[in-house]
Chain A
Amino acid sequence: MGGRVGIVGVGHSKFGKRSDVTLRELSFEAVSKAFEDSRLEVGAVDSVVTGIATDAFSGQIVPAAPVLDYIGLVQRSNIRVEAACATGSAAVRTGWSLIQSGLSEVVLVLGVETMTHTPTPQATEIMAGGGDGRWEYPFGITFPGFYALLANAHMSQFGTSKEQLAMVAVKNHKYGALNPNAHFQKEISLETALKAPTICHPLSLYDCSPISDGSAAVLLASEERARKITDTPVWIKGLGASTDTMLISERETLTGIKATRLASEKAYKMAGVEPKDVDVANVHDCFTIAEILAYEDLGFCAEGMGGRFIEEGQSYIGGATPVNVDGGLKAKGHPLGATGVSMTVEITKQLRGQAGNRQVKGAEIGLSHNVGQTGQFVFVHIYTR
């Protein structure tokens, strides 16, 4: 294995309800910004990795083809990657591997999804199809429903409260309000979050991330190339990935995501860092309970203490480990394929010191954590300046 892999350019579209653009036009927004940021020419890219979670929302079968054509990146390698909600981080990992294998020197990693072009009841049906078609779907369990099962188990075992779940939403909306790319740029009060209608008991509307459209792109380069392209590369220092059983009933635990524990162990070991060394993290908060589980499974706090971690403000800027200070999936939005790449974009900006009024001062080590479905796929990346 050669040197390190550097991030040399990042681009991000506005996330939200984007009925003004198609999948490929939305892709163009992030990719053009990544090229602008890196000052690279399109011709410098020898491979593309396209992260699009599903064809079901856009209705476009083999969606990478029209996207590649529209961004002007044909006649070179492309791999389309899929790992449900963790598609974007799977794409970054694939890009890293292409460079470390020596097959590529400069890789464009694009994550994109349009979800709002489908009416919400149909979108809910599509997402419910993410449960096991044989043994789970027949009982009508939905995507929020799975996380509600984990939430009730955690609340019952550790005394985690509805208020603590709502505090995650309040924090993420606070930072979303500072992020011009966020789907929701509005602060909410604890009272508003607690009064919202129930989606799947105990999760209510503000415990759930929205259905969003969006794109994000990063340009990766070999160490040698990265040093020539920029004076401020961000390095991918550690990667960890794991998977788990399809059926939630076969999981070892219902009060955590085992694959997060396994993936983060690998990433920390490879990077030679410990959880306490992480200066800023983006974790997978598709639901508020998921962020609380992530605090614990990533080792930011002890098992069962995730509720207290948010209550004490430890995941705010100024706390022990600032988490999702771009709004997270909760407020920034969760366009499936784009989400993981968006995390890499955000951490890169933080480590470059370009995060503006949500900058974690002096951040040197960053972490991103992306979960597919309810822990079937998990990717953890660790970054350094």
Chain B
Amino acid sequence: MLFGYASIQPETEATLKLMEGLKEGKLLATRCAKCGVIYLPPRVHCKKCYSQNVEWFEAPMKGKLLTYTQVEVPPEKHAKNAPYVVGVAELGVGLRLLARVVGFEGEELKVGMAVEVAPLQIADDRIAYILKPSR
């Protein structure tokens, strides 16, 4: 399984575990077992204390849209999906995530609106988390 709409890097422990979670409808993040710093998207090395011991946990999936943009001129590998919307959401307290925003209508999108994370099977071999309006 590959992560995202198109990719340029190999899948490693961070994306493989994340994708396993997505298949079960969960958004997985990591917490440093030594100093407690939380990482979303997940990392397997702590950049604060340099520990390589992280715990996986389910991150909150509901939050609000901090900002967004509609991409009209895409990079080549994303051209078939254009135009599309990318946004940054804040989930729970302090966790932020950049993802495609899908499943909205017309002028519905607004900074500050309620959104939630959902898994999306993009193709047989591709999966990602996306943001959609909470209804």
A residues sitting closer than 8 Å to B (CB atoms) are 121-122, 124-125, 127-129, 133-142, 144-145, 148-153, 156, 197-203, 247-250, 254
- Complex contact A139–B5 (CB within 8 A): yes
Q: How far is the CB of B85 from chain A (nearest CB, A)?
A: 8
Residues of A within 8 A of B111 (CB): 152-153, 156
What's the Cα separation between A137 and B8 when bound, in Å?
Answer: 8
Contact A248 B66 (CB under 8 A): no
A152 & B68 in contact (Cβ 8 Å cutoff): yes
| Contact between chains at A142 and B67 (CB < 8 Å) | no
Choose from B7, B68, B73 the contact partner of A144 (Cβ within 8 Å): B73
Beyond A122-B76, A124-B76, A248-B98, whether A156 also contacts B112 by CB under 8 A is: yes
Q: Is the CB of B98 within 8 A of A247?
A: yes
Structural contact, B69 and A149, CB atoms closer than 8 A: yes
Give the dominant DSSP class at B's interface: mixed
Chain A neighbourhood of B41, CB < 8 A? 134-135, 247
Bin the interface of chain B by size.
Answer: 35 or more
A249 touches B75 (CB 8 A): no
- Complex formed: what's the CA distance from A127 to B14 in Å? 25
User: How far is the CB of B115 from the nearest CB of chain A, in Å?
Assistant: 14
- Rounded to whole angstroms, the CA-CA distance of A125 and B6 in the bound complex is 12
Write out the residue numbers on chain B whose beta carbons fall within 8 Å of the beta carbon of A149: 67-69, 86-88
* Contact B72 A140, beta carbon cutoff 8 Å: no
- A-contacting residues of B (Cβ < 8 Å)? 3-9, 14-15, 41, 66-79, 81-82, 84, 86-88, 96-100, 111-112, 128
Please give, as numbers and ranges, the residues of chain A lying within 8 Å of B75 by CB-CB distance: 124-125, 127-129, 137, 140, 142
Chain B residue nearest in CB terms to A245: B47
CA distance A202 to B70 in the complex (A): 8
* B67 and A153 within 8 A (CB): yes
Chain B residues whose C-beta falls within 8 Å of the C-beta of A254 in the assembled complex: 66-67, 88
Cα–Cα distance between A5 and B4 once the two chains are bound (Å): 49
A-B contact pairs, 28 of them (CB 8 A): A127-B75, A128-B75, A129-B75, A133-B9, A134-B9, A135-B98, A137-B7, A137-B75, A138-B128, A139-B5, A139-B98, A140-B71, A140-B84, A142-B73, A149-B87, A149-B88, A151-B69, A152-B68, A156-B67, A198-B70, A198-B72, A199-B72, A200-B69, A201-B69, A201-B72, A249-B88, A254-B66, A254-B88
Within the assembled complex, what's the spacing in Å between the Cα atoms of A152 and B88? 11
**Chain B's nearest CB lies how many Å from the CB of A304?**
15
Cα A197 to Cα B7 in complex, Å, equals 28
In the complex, chain A residues whose CB is within 8 Å of the CB of B69? 141, 145, 148-149, 151-152, 200-203
Q: Chain B residues with Cβ under 8 A from A133's Cβ?
A: 7-9
